[in-house]
Structure 1
Amino acid sequence: MAVAPPSPIANFDSRLQLLIEAVVDYAIFVLDPGGHVASWNRGAQKLKGWTRDEIVGRHFSVFYPPEAVATGWPQEELRRAARDGRFEDEGWRVRKDGSRFWANVVITALREPDTGELSGFAKVTRDLSERRRHEEALRASEEAFRLLVNGIADHGIFMLDAEGNVRSWNRGAELIHGYTGSEIMGRHFGIFFSSQDRAAGKPERELALARADGRFEDEGWRVRKDGSRFWGRVLVTPIHGSSGQLAGYAKVTQDLSVQRKIADLERSTRRMNEFLAMLAHELRNPLAPIRNAVTIMQKLDEQLPAPVQRMRDVIDRQLTQMTRLVDDLLDVSRLTTGKIKLRCEPVDMSEVVARSVETVRPLIEGRAHALSVEVPPGPHPVHGDPTRLAQVLQNLLVNAAKYTAEGGRITVTLRRPEGSIEVSVADNGRGIAPEELEHMFELFAQGATGLSPTATDTGLGVGLALARTLVQMHGGSMSAHSEGVGKGATFGFRLPLAPVRPSASA
């Protein structure tokens, strides 16, 4: 009796079962209508950790975290699959050892072909943990980049679409331009330009040049929300998609208004210094022959009538004042250009005091001031430039003589605080208002309070500024003190004490 060959359907079912069993990257198994595992392939064992003998007959809710089981989510999945014929989801699932993995699941309702009765469910599970890790890392990177860009406050960084409309907006852009994100989003970036620039097509030209050259960089005036202008540096870069099509533009804006003002001030200061140097040199030329004429007239003292002698002495005093002003101008010019050089050597400050007093004595005596000099005995050594130190003290003495009424009192004092030497010049003159004290050493600063200046009180307001700078170049400091208007003033400077070198005989 011949044996009948297997039916084609039986062969197909057998091969399908072998195929399902051979798949190891997907968990493929069947559930009965109540959700109990009825079949189990090798991929399911590899993914979830249970063997066929361990899992068949158990409810599939064992694959879900406790919180999902508590909400009835496994039964909800079966209900939706039975209702719609298919259900797909992604979420956390649990292995046999308790570890979790991110899974994609597809549940398909199985029905009897003749009656349509539900006979169970086919479930396919795929492990997407690696993909999720990549996605999480990408999201974290994008979030970190977003926070970084948004945290930049001194650069406006934002995106434009292909037509130039704003699509993103960081904190720096808000601070620079004045618009919040909700106010500017979707508006054309031409709003940042003046009406003249918009009429000239400058916004469109920026984008066209960026497309043509791969980037566009420029500096110019831009407009804030309140209508004020700022000097900005902009960089526009086109952004292309994966297929090469233009997706939009990245734009970076930096407010350089402060830097521009500083540059303008530097140029103005440089021009002023050049003018001062030229003015001082030009003024020195006519002073030389006037000084020669006065010197000749002084030699003819007995031959000149008394009125001429008085006029000669006036010219001499004013010429001395003019020469000092010109020298101050030259020194200011040298200071601002860094051309003053100190010729330092061991210096006894008592000698500097004596020389300075003798130089200024004619001015002091001419105003009938009582002068007192208090210098303790012994050497008072510093390391410095004797000429420049004498210039500092002479400036203080001239300042005291100028701003003290005739018949006043001036006191020069040298002290030896610990590790330093201090020289001060005190007077009982017009004094200084408290609000002016901190400005006394600024260039071209002159006190506005006190007595009206006389002819000999005129000046440029550079002497104290020059004196303080020279003292600082010696590593020292300068101070000013006054009890107020009409109560006199004290100016002093302190220098580091230099060690006394032993003499050869010692």
Structure 2
Amino acid sequence: MTHPTEPAHGTEASANAEGTPKQLEAKYRALVEAIQDYAIFTLDVSGNITSWNRGVAKIKGYAAHEIIGKHFSVFYPPDAVARGWPDYELRRAAADGRFEDEGWRVRRDGTLFWANVTITAMFDEQGVLQGFAKVTRDMTERKRLEELEQSSRRMSEFLATLSHELRNPLAPMRNAVNLMRLETLGSGDQRAPRDSATLRQCQSVLDRQLSHMTRLVDDLLDMGRITSGKVELQYSRVDLADIVARAAEAAKPTLERRRQWLDLRVPGQIAMRADPTRLIQVLQNLLLNASKFSPPGSRIAIESDLQPQAVELRVSDEGIGIPASEIDTIFDLFVQHKHGKVSDEGGLGIGLSLCRSLVELHGGSIRASSPGEGMGSTFTIRLPLGIESADEKQDTAVPLPAGALRVMVVDDNRDSADSLGMLLQAMGHEVHIAYDAEGAIEIAGSFVPQLALIDIAMPVVDGFALLRGLKNMRGWSGTVFAAMTGFGQPSDRAETKAAGFHFHIVKPVELPKLQMLLAMVEQGTVAGAGPAGNSPPAT
């Protein structure tokens, strides 16, 4: 049987093993003082500092003799002291037992840091307040990262809005150029003006500059998408030679204008898994960059090197080269060559940074090299070959339209609506134009189109509301609806698809894409659209 006094004796032995109260307090003080990542100190009931640890010296910059005895409000910015915030913290801690806060605090040298602060009230056995224990943690780095994330989100939103606003005026300009392209300037038609060669030259200039402006806007938006993590690759099985050929074709007008010749040494039958649109974009940007920094009449080359599980592509030029001091920063955002260029093409310092981001999204890498200034440069892309997936998309050719369609254009930008209408009429289609939702509803009573092109950002009644109204009208079940907008992010496309639009068209509308859309409508190959015959449905 256990003796009744044994538990007490055991507890006393345990206490003796751990140490006396004074020894325990000494160990506790040593532990607190050793902590350097937290500023730990005590306050009397009035808020004066009575003890400190090394963390106070590290975080706030005070030695013990400089801070003990002072009021803890010395750590607070003047505006916080003026509104009585330190005293408020003590009152809350005394009332609730504990108070936690985050905010700016002041170091000894006057610099600010973002702090997480916990104040705990200390009471004696009778419940009388004896003072406070205060723990402060420097959270400046976390605050900085949060602000960077917020800044990145705001920048992405700004770039998207900027791109949208820039695309609106580009849309009617592109429509006008497309219309000029369809005219029979200099073709022998008696209606062609005598100075058709001059007009052809003007059309060529407008076409080039519009393409350049559109590319800058697209680069801005793509960079915003990438920094916010909103770019999703659409993989398919592609042939590398075909990708290179399509990129070369896209860059051809610029190269021809500067009399530069392209040497392609990429064999066929190199299959890989990639997003063809994005890969073409990368190679086109590299070709245009090579053209910009190379003299007229020079050679630009694309070569490939097949390796196990990977392929390397090299884009080389005979241009001004890259100084060794700039090699490491050449892919940084908004960085441009400091030693000028040899063409009149401008830029924002986005293209190469965008190339690197898109290549890395593919799981690859890109590097730049140059023997030195005036000796040309080479950009080498390394991409994994990848494995084809059963559900990957395959590029399919869409035939051009052969017959006339009934088309409605709705856009509050009159220049955009009128120019697009003129372009469609020149292509042989019957077109009705409205500048707002109310005008579209009026037209819809007597005209049911096979295709409705609707701007979604109209004032008063937007394109989404108009879509719902038109779909509820008699005879409109077979109409194909295309949303026109300056926004082209995946979330924007998802929104228009969920609303019931069959297509999402980003302004300005390129002629080949418009022709493909018209062909699909005419041949009835639009998923989700009912049959739309060549005769108007009964109304």
Q: State the match for 1:455 in structure 2.
A: 344
Contact residue 160 and residue 224 of structure 2 kept, 8 A:
yes
Change (3 A) 1:274 1:201: closer
- Equivalence for 2:290: 400
Residue type matched to 2:384 in 1?
Answer: P
Q: Alpha-carbon deviation of 1:259?
A: 2.6
Preserved contact between residue 350 and residue 379 of structure 1 (Cα < 8 Å) = yes
Which residue among 220, 224, 232 is the counterpart of 1:329? Answer: 220
Structure 2 counterpart of 1:374:
265
Instruction: Output the amino acid matched with 2:363.
Output: G
Q: Does 1:480 align with 2:368?
A: yes
2:176 aligned residue: 293
Would you say the 8 A contact 1:192–1:222 is kept in 2?
Answer: yes
Q: 2:145 aligns with which of 251, 262, 268?
A: 262
Give the Cα separation in 2 of the matches to 1:246 and 1:312.
85
Counterpart selection for 2:319 from 429, 452, 458: 429
Kept in 2, the 8 Å contact 1:432–1:450? The answer is no
Paired amino acid for 2:32: V
Tell me, in whole angstroms, the C-alpha distance in 2 between the residues paired with 1:189 and 1:499: 64
Match of 1:209 among 82, 92, 108: 92
Matched position secondary structure for 1:159: strand
Cα 1:201–1:282 shift into 2, 3 Å: closer
Report SS of the residue matched to 1:311: helix
Sort the Cα spacing of 1:331 and 1:198 in 2 relative to 1 into closer, same or farther, 3 A: closer
Distance 2:116 2:281 in 1: 48
Between the aligned partners of 1:205 and 1:269, the Cα distance in structure 2 is 35
Determine the C-alpha separation between the residues in 1 that align with 2:137 and 2:316. Answer: 52
Cα distance, 1:206–1:459 mapped onto 2, change above 3 Å: same
Q: Is the 8 A contact 1:450 1:486 kept in 2?
A: no
Q: CA RMSD in A?
A: 2.6
- C-alpha separation between the residues in 2 aligned to 1:171 and 1:396? 55
Q: 1:237, 1:129 → 2: CA distance?
A: 31
Name the CA shift for 1:412/1:144 in 2 (closer, same or farther; >3 Å): farther
Q: Distance in 2 between matches of 1:153 and 1:294?
A: 68
Q: What is the aligned counterpart of 1:342 among 222, 233, 239?
A: 233
Paired residue for 2:211, among 305, 308, 320?
320
8 Å contact from structure 1 (residues 450, 485) kept in 2: no
Alignment partner of 2:242 out of 351, 355, 359? 351
Percent identity over the alignment is 47
Q: Alpha-carbon deviations, 1:209-256, whole Å to 9, x = none?
A: 211221222222222111222222211111112232222101011222
Rounded to whole Å, the distance in 1 between the matches of 2:237 and 2:27 is: 62
* 1:471-506: CA deviation from partner (whole Å, max 9, x where unpaired): 1111111111122332211112111134699xxxxx
SS in 1 for 2:259: coil
Query: Which residue in 2 is equivalent to 1:232?
Result: 115
Contact 1:370 1:408 in 2 (8 A): yes
Match of 2:354 among 466, 484, 487: 466
By how many angstroms is 1:443 displaced? 2.1
If you compute each CA radius of gyration, which structure gives the higher value, 1 or 2?
A: 1
Give runs of aligned pairs for residues 126-141 of structure 1, distance below 5 A: 130=13, 133-134=16-17, 136=19
Aligned to 1:53: none
| Cα drift, residue 418 of structure 1 | 3.4
Select the structure with the greater relative contact order (CA < 8 A; seq sep ≥ 6).
2
Distance 2:160 2:259 in 1: 35
From 492, 500, 505, the equivalent of 2:380 is 492
TM-score by length of 2: 0.64
Distance change >3 Å, CA 271–CA 199, structure 1 → 2: closer
Aligned amino acid, residue 381 of structure 1 = A
Distance 1:289 1:129 in 2: 92
CA 1:132/1:412 → structure 2, altered by over 3 Å: closer, same or farther? closer
Distance between the aligned counterparts of 2:12 and 2:179, measured in 1? 106
Question: Which amino acid in 2 is paired with 1:317?
Answer: R
Deviations 1:8-31 (A, max 9, x none): xxxxxxxxxxxxxxxxxxxxxxxx
Measure the CA separation in 2 of the matches of 1:410 and 1:340. 30
Q: In the alignment, which of 48, 52, 58 is matched to residue 165 of structure 1? A: 48
Structure 1 window deviating more from structure 2 (325-334 vs 349-358): it is 325-334
- Matching residue of 1:185: 68
Q: Structure 2: any 5+ residue segments left out of the alignment?
A: 1-10, 187-191, 390-539
- Residue among 325, 331, 356 paired with 1:441: 331
Distance 1:148 1:131 in 2: 21
Say if 1:482 and 1:136 are closer, same or farther in 2 by CA, change over 3 A.
Answer: same
Q: Say whether the 8 Å CA contact 1:160–1:250 is kept in structure 2.
A: yes
Distance 1:138 1:383 in 2: 71
Aligned to 1:108: none
CA distance, structure 2, for counterparts of residue 176 and residue 371 of structure 1: 61
Compute the displacement of 1:261 (Å): 2.7
Q: Is contact 2:359-2:383 (8 Å) kept?
A: yes
Partner of 1:445, secondary structure, is coil
